[in-house]
Amino acid sequence: MAYCEKTLILASASPRRRELLGRFAVPFRVIPARGAETAPEGLTPGELVRCLAEHKAAEVAEGEGPESVIIAADTVVEIDGEILGKPGTPERAAEMLRRLSGRTHRVWTGVCVRQGERILSAAEETAVRFRELEEEEIRAYVVTGEPMDKAGAYGYQDRACLFVERIEGDYFNVVGLPMDRLGRMLREFGVSLL
């Protein structure tokens, strides 16, 4: 398998996704999707993130040629059947963290790989358990600003690693890009990350 004949594009503004893909000796460009993240009502978390990833890939594909292989992803946190996206305000971030405190939640990432009209998409699920958080810790973490651009108001790869007791599933899924699944999907397009 060779990647040199194809243009690999990451359809994401996420520095975490860029860093993960950048660990491999595969050249890629970043073209963030800019459209509104909308999906039909009533989708399961897995269906939702797949739908959003597919929309992002379709948006970026409009301006690219048939040799371009586009990678798009979307991540949400789910607890008690409710989706927790990016908090938007410090108050909402603190509220989300209180809700996750001492409990297990699920991180869902939808991944879409697209070349022309060929589309593969999937959803990855990882269970994450937080220890009991003290109110002072929540306030101190929110003040750092880290929670504001992250689903569920935390970044496992950042300071919030201090809150996680255990995970079950793909660590990289929690960071925002399930690398094992992505690697297998890319091989379907003749692209190897090795």
Q: Catalytic residue numbers?
A: 74
Do β-strands 118-130 and 164-168 pair in parallel, antiparallel, or remain unpaired? antiparallel
Which residues form the domain of 167?
7-187
Q: Which two tokens stand for residue 125?
A: 């699920």
CA–CA gap between residue 177 and residue 183 (Å, rounded): 10
Establish if 46 belongs to a structural domain.
Answer: yes
Tell me how many domains the chain contains: 1
Q: What would the pLDDT profile of 1-51 be if each residue is shown by its tens digit?
A: 444 467 899 999 999 999 999 999 899 999 999 876 777 888 999 999 999
Residue 109 included in any domain: yes
Is 176 within 8 Å of 73 (Cβ atoms)? yes
- Assigned domain for 77 exists: yes
Tell me the per-residue pLDDT of 50-71, one tens digit each, with 9 for 90 and over.
Answer: 999 999 999 999 988 888 999 9
Per-residue model confidence as pLDDT tens digits over 119-161: 999 999 999 999 999 999 999 999 999 999 899 999 999 999 9
Answer yes or no: is 181 within a domain. Answer: yes
Flag whether 192 is in a domain: no
Judge contact between 174 and 167, C-beta under 8 A. Answer: yes
In a domain, 91, yes or no: yes
Handedness of CA 180, 19, 88, 91 (dihedral sign): positive
Look at residue 193 and tell me if it is in a domain. no
**Residue 160 belongs to some domain of the structure:** yes
**Domain at 61, CATH number:** 3.90.950.10
CA 102 to CA 182: how far, in whole Å? 31
Residue 31 contacts residue 60 (beta carbons within 8 Å): yes
Which amino acid is located at 162 in the chain? L
The residues, ordered by sequence, that sit 6+ positions from 2 with a Cβ below 8 Å of its Cβ are: 190, 192
At residue 99, the 3 state secondary structure works out as: helix
